[in-house]
Structure 1
């Protein structure tokens, strides 16, 4: 088969979740000797993180905006290539497509009620675009892929998708996430003075629960003898200040480090250096950072709702993410019980072995083959 895969954003320097899912899946497909030809449609960018090979070609498509790129330039490129199908990897797709369409719909958070508007204009515009496009393209998709059984069932019921048209394919994690024999302190000190800190990977999306994490941290500081600092990735100081004022906890700011965006290449070192990884989101369709931290042998505290229990497994430390006191309690339990801490390290290492990008690619191939003309 000749298969086109939309991966519009993978060449941008500051990649996020869906970008890595697309990139890692494509890399695994590229390794397989399956007789398929892959055409990866991307926007120009600085990070040339994927190379061409005998079975994979990179097709750069230029357009001034994402909606125009997806709705006009992408289907025209697909028609020109003469492929057998198009796989769109990031929730949306062209309203008109000249070939059978496969869509990865990571979640339907943007179709659910919101607590408040997104603080970022880019996120707000994306929210409206997805609400406009997704319901209209689902009827045209030959197959819909999502990333957990939780999300699969939620999408199926909310949008009345026939069971045979939607399937769950788990994400994996990059193998550079593993326990390190020695932590590179030069990398650690780019972000925080010393190791053994608490680590929170958030952004301005309300579902990441940053305000309650900060509130939980303030409760932790009141009761902890160690008073470990908190490293916060992907949040700017102005936004953190706003949350601290909102929660009336500005006094904890000296205990925080907030370097902004952290490149994926440094995350493995930081997971290894961290005492614990905090991921008590309000809503996740999967949660790749859970696996990354577990694969590094770092204990995780995560939410007990949406897909997080499915990914983290029955042995993980889960909390009600709406209750900061529960998050603080679990932090203190890990700090005060070396046996519990060691058990969580060992559990996470074993749990992470259940997931891989190779398995993701294997399942993707089954989907492609199921709609072969």
Structure 2
């Protein structure tokens, strides 16, 4: 087989969820498949995190914007390479494609009612682009892949798809995430504290940042330890706006907000964290859950969307719309060593159900099935 995989953003330094999914799966395919020929189509970037091999070719395509790259430069490259199929990995694809198309549709949040106002221009533009493109490409896809059974059922129902047109393939997590002996000096560039709580936030309303900060303010009122909160991926002006909105400006001295934390540093951050808060309103999977659990870090997470499917029935699942409940469970974890130990052991056991190797095996089966039927 001659397979083209779109991985437009894997070389950018500040990678996010879908970028890591594409990168990790491609790396596993390299280990798994030495027979078929692959063309990895990406934009130029500073982080050359993927090495070509005899049957894995990296094709860098220059273009000034993502829509132009995907709708014009990518189809032109496909016509030149002439693969047996094109796999687009990040929700969207060319509207006109000359070969069989496989699409990874991580979620359809962009087609749903927004959970709140999004202050990020970049995220708003991405939402509009996906709303424009996805309905037009769905009918051309030979196979649609999503990342959880929850999302599979939701997409099938929302877009009125036949059952055999979409399948769920769970994500995995990197083996770099494991229990480690981490010294304080390894995390000092992010915060000076020995103990802290950890929260991955951004401006997307689904991340539930305002309620999580409100919950933290309630935790501070009842906690004997009063641990600081490390917030990744949020700028100070955004934090200031949320604190003012929630009328909790007094907690700012307890917050640590270094901005984007590179993926290479996250194992150390998780390992030193006392608790990881993953209090999203809506997720199609939740890789950070697995990363924290794999590091032996207790997790407080939501009882919504795909999160219970990934976290499992014995996780600490809370209603993310109730700040009081989040704070209450934080206090329980702090005061109850047995509960804390139980959650650490449970998380280390739970992550054994997921791996990128398993993901790559299932993906290769999809490729084979699509090409055989073409």
1:107-186 equivalence runs, <5 A: 107-180=107-180, 182-186=181-185
Q: Which residue does 2:259 correspond to in 1?
A: 260
Q: Which secondary structure state, in structure 2, belongs to the residue aligned with residue 257 of structure 1?
A: strand
Partner Cα distance (1:346, 1:17) in 2: 26
Q: CA deviation at 1:187?
A: 2.2
1:171-320 equivalence runs, <5 A: 171-180=171-180, 182-320=181-319
Q: CA deviation at 1:184?
A: 2.9
Deviations 1:66-114 (A, max 9, x none): 1110001101101100110000000000000010000000000000011
1:4-43 equivalence runs, <5 A: 4-43=4-43
Q: Which residue does 2:66 correspond to in 1?
A: 66
Q: Where does structure 1 lack aligned partners over 5 or more consecutive residues?
A: none
Partner Cα distance (2:314, 2:46) in 1: 41
Q: CA deviation at 1:34?
A: 4.7
1:292-371 equivalence runs, <5 A: 292-371=291-370
Q: What is the TM-score of this pair, normalised by structure 2?
A: 0.98
Partner Cα distance (1:19, 1:110) in 2: 18
Deviations 1:201-242 (A, max 9, x none): 111111111100000000000100000100000000000000
Partner Cα distance (1:26, 1:185) in 2: 34
- Label 1:112 to 1:33 Cα distance change in 2 as closer, same or farther (>3 A): closer
Partner Cα distance (1:333, 1:35) in 2: 53
Partner Cα distance (1:369, 1:361) in 2: 12
The more displaced of 2-11 and 106-115 is 106-115
Partner Cα distance (1:161, 1:118) in 2: 29
Partner Cα distance (1:273, 1:223) in 2: 22
Deviations 1:49-69 (A, max 9, x none): 001001100000111111110
Q: CA deviation at 1:120?
A: 1.0
Q: What is the TM-score of this pair, normalised by structure 1?
A: 0.99
Q: Which secondary structure state, in structure 2, belongs to the residue aligned with residue 179 of structure 1?
A: coil
Q: Where does structure 2 lack aligned partners over 5 or more consecutive residues?
A: none
Contact 1:117 1:124 in 2 (8 A): no
Partner Cα distance (1:153, 1:195) in 2: 43
Partner Cα distance (1:115, 1:84) in 2: 40
Partner Cα distance (1:115, 1:103) in 2: 25
Deviations 1:246-269 (A, max 9, x none): 000000001000000000011000
Partner Cα distance (1:9, 1:187) in 2: 28
Q: Which residue does 2:100 correspond to in 1?
A: 100
Partner Cα distance (1:38, 1:316) in 2: 39
Partner Cα distance (1:122, 1:337) in 2: 42
When the two structures are aligned, how many residues end up with a matched partner? Answer: 372
Deviations 1:300-349 (A, max 9, x none): 00010000000000110011000000100110110010000000000000
1:39-58 equivalence runs, <5 A: 39-58=39-58
Partner Cα distance (2:300, 2:37) in 1: 42
Partner Cα distance (1:207, 1:14) in 2: 20
Contact 1:177 1:292 in 2 (8 A): yes
Partner Cα distance (2:255, 2:33) in 1: 48
Contact 1:188 1:195 in 2 (8 A): no
Partner Cα distance (1:329, 1:259) in 2: 27
